[in-house]
Every structure is written in structure tokens, then in C-alpha cells.
Amino acid sequence: MKNILVINSGSSSLKFQLIQMPEEHVLAFGLVERIGQESGKLSYSSEKFSTSEERQVSNHSEALKSVTMLLMDSKNGVIKNASEIPAIGHRVVHGGDKFSETILIDEKVKTTIKTLFSLAPLHNPPNLTGIEVAESIFPNSRQIAVFDTAFHRSIPPRANRYAIPNSFYEEHNIQVYGFHGTSHKYVSEKAMEHIVDKKSKIISIHLGNGCSITAIEDGKSIDHSLGFAPVNGLIMGTRSGDIDQSVIFYMINQLGYTAQEVSDLLHHKSGMLGLTGYSDLRDIEAEAEKGNRNCKLALEMNAYRIKKYIGAYSAAMNGLDAIIFTAGIGENSNTIRALVCRDMEFLGIELDENENAIRSKEIRKISTNASKVNVLVIPTNEELEIAKQVFSLTSTSTSSV
């Protein structure tokens, strides 16, 4: 039996779970939200204690230190000291062409993760920060990296190559890498259990501050909305998603922006934030209810982009058995789910409005009985998937690691 701490550092959040493996027993879990914003929030729960408090958290380092203090609190903590955690699993968004499997972290691995900052500027930096802070707090724990890009290694060349000169692929490894792979893998496996068919055509829609959609055939990723870096595809909290490349050239050549300024704009100032002034969908939905036209349009645009990908991936797989909504927005926003599934009868998608309105942490079907496509809400558990991979790796002999 091992206690495995899983750290999932997102672009504006830090999720964690302390899990006893292989029993998959969660000792404690929690979330630090809105990191770097004025109104942050820290939530922590264990079997004997829970707390939720508003607090400003300036960066990921501060967030992880706060979590650690709660885990080792003399009165309400679940461990006495750092030695009770032999292994820590870290979600790392971009592994480039260097990492395709879960790996023990050393200085070389950290250096390589750092070289990939430019490909995932919102994610790899906080991912590496999480690793470095964990190393200082848990110096005797084995630090393990689990890469979001690994699940998408099965995408075939016809889908993962760009129509630019071959030399860019052959010499610089420019291709579709894909992201949120840990989440898409976990929920698609749950969906296959739910519909009792391993040979399934599934579209998994991960909607959070970052968003992506994956075509999964017989358990393998065959196409994905995010590509070389996690900025294209669906409209996200602060990221633009798909955009005509000509707009970028126009901004540089005609409007006087530098390449770095455009990159910063597309990563940090676009998406729902650029359209509405808000990056959190809860704020946008509240404003839309009040009649805010920009917020109403942004919700429509968001859903429309998802619908286009559903149509494309249904065509690519020549069929569709199930759609999964997952992650913070996918699991909790009945508004987005309803907008996405509206007027999709041609593809055999019919939403049950009553089921869609229900809030639950359980796997549930929200399509009608007449719907030819199962529409499922499946809470993602990237942390458990990471813990499984960490346990598998650390259970082998030291030499094999």
C-alpha cells in the first residue's frame, strides 16, 4: 500500500488528491481556484475535516504550500510528515516528441519540460513549478511525470500532420500532439464500461478553462482539436481557439504588434475573456441571464464551435455511439450542454432536458431513450488516472524505472 500525492497544476488552478493505492482510497482532495486573480478560493476535504475559504493566492507555489500545510496539519491532517508520501505524480501538459510514457523525474527531465514552455506557456511553467516546490517539501519522495500528450500518440499521420513542407516535421517535429489526454483516456474508458462495448465511436469533450475535443475509436485517440500547442480548436477561457492565420500576419504587419504580443493576446486575452471581459463561465452565464449581449453571443459562439467539431469527428469515424461532457464546465454547465446538443437530431442526438438539468457527481445519461447517440456526463478524474500510472511505475523494480 502506498500513499500517492497527485498534483494537477492547471493554468489558473491546482487540484490535488492524496490516494492510497492500489485500493484507490482517497485520503484527501481539494482545489485551489482562480490563482493569480483577486478572488481566489481554497477547498480541502478529508474523511474527518473539510474547509472552503476565499483567499487570494498569487501563484502556484503559494497554492501548493497551502495544500501541504493542510495535509500535515497536526489536528486535521491525514499524514504526520513528508515521509508518508513515497511518490508524487505530476500532470505535465506538453511532452513534445521527447516523452510518450510516464517517467521518473530527474534534472534532465525538468530541463526538457522547460524547453517546451513555448509550446504550452500557460501550463508547462506551473507544471514545472509544482514539481520544484514538491521536491523541496517532499525531498525523499519520487517525483513522477504523467504527460497529457501521451494518449494522443495513436493519432494517425493523416490527422496529426500539417500541410506545410515535410522538413518541418522531419527536422523540427512540428505536428499535432494533443492535450488533456489523461482526462480523455479516463472518461472514454468509463464510457465504454457504461455502454458495454469496447468497439465504440466516442467523442469526448473536455470543457474547463482549457477546452478540447477528441475522436476516440475503439479506445484510441484518432483526432483531437488541440495541436502543436494548446491554443487552437475550441474557444477557451482566455485562449482564442481556431483563428485564420492571416489575422496574425495582419496584426504584425499592419497593426504593429510584435510576435510575442500576438502570442500573449491569443493565450491570455482572447477566448471568452476577450469576448466578454470574463474568463469564468459562471460569471458569463450570470451576465447572460441579465441580458448582456456580449455574454449571450459568446455562449452561442462557444457551443457552435463544439458542434462543428462533433460533425467533423462523426464524419471521420463514419458514425457516433456516444458523446461525453467532462471537466468543470462540461460537468456543471447545463446551459452549454443544451446549446451544443440543440438542433442535432440529424446526427441522432436528442437531449433529455430534465436529465440535463440534474446536478450530480455520478456518471449519468442525459439523452432521451429515443436518442441514437448516448450523451453522457462523466466526471473526470485525472488524478486517479495519474495515481494508477504512478503506482504501476513505482511498483516495478528500481532498475526498470
In tens, the pLDDT along 40-97 reads: 899 999 988 999 988 888 888 888 888 988 998 888 889 988 889 999 999 998 888 7
Q: Which fold has domain 2-147?
A: Nucleotidyltransferase; domain 5 (3.30.420)
> Considering the entire predicted model, what is its pTM?
0.83
The predicted structure's pLDDT at residue 197: 62
Please give the grid coordinates belonging to residue 382: 485525472
pLDDT averaged over the chain?
91
**Confidence band for 121, pLDDT divided at 50, 70 and 90:** confident
Query: Does residue 122 register a pLDDT over 80?
Result: no
The CATH class for the domain spanning 196-377 reads alpha beta
Which residues, 6 or more positions from 306, have their beta carbon under 8 angstroms from its beta carbon?
A: 205, 207, 213, 234, 340
Binding residues for substrate: 91
Arithmetic mean of pLDDT, 349-353: 96
The residue length of the chain stands at 401
Please give the grid coordinates belonging to residue 62: 503559494
Arithmetic mean of pLDDT, 367-388: 94
The predicted structure's pLDDT at residue 196: 60
The predicted structure's pLDDT at residue 397: 40
Arithmetic mean of pLDDT, 249-265: 97
Cα of first residue to Cα of last residue in the chain, in angstroms, is 19
User: What SS3 class is residue 56?
Assistant: coil
Question: Domain spans of the chain?
Answer: 2-147, 196-377
Of 167-181, 254-268, 332-346, the one with minimum mean pLDDT is 167-181
Question: Could you give the CA distance from residue 309 to residue 322 in angstroms, rounded to a whole number?
Answer: 14
Please give the full DSSP string across 218-259, using - where no structure is assigned: TTEEEEES--SSTTSSS--SS---S--HHHHHHHHHTS---H
The predicted structure's pLDDT at residue 82: 83
**Confidence band for 233, pLDDT divided at 50, 70 and 90:** very high
Residue 346's CB is within 10 A of a number of other CB atoms, namely 8
Residues recognised as catalytic: 148
The predicted structure's pLDDT at residue 399: 35
The predicted structure's pLDDT at residue 198: 64
Nearest one of 135, 134, 181 to 14, comparing CA atoms: 134
Cα dist from 365 to 81, 303, 323, 351, whole Å: 42, 20, 10, 9
Binding residues for ATP: 15, 206-210, 280-282, 328-332
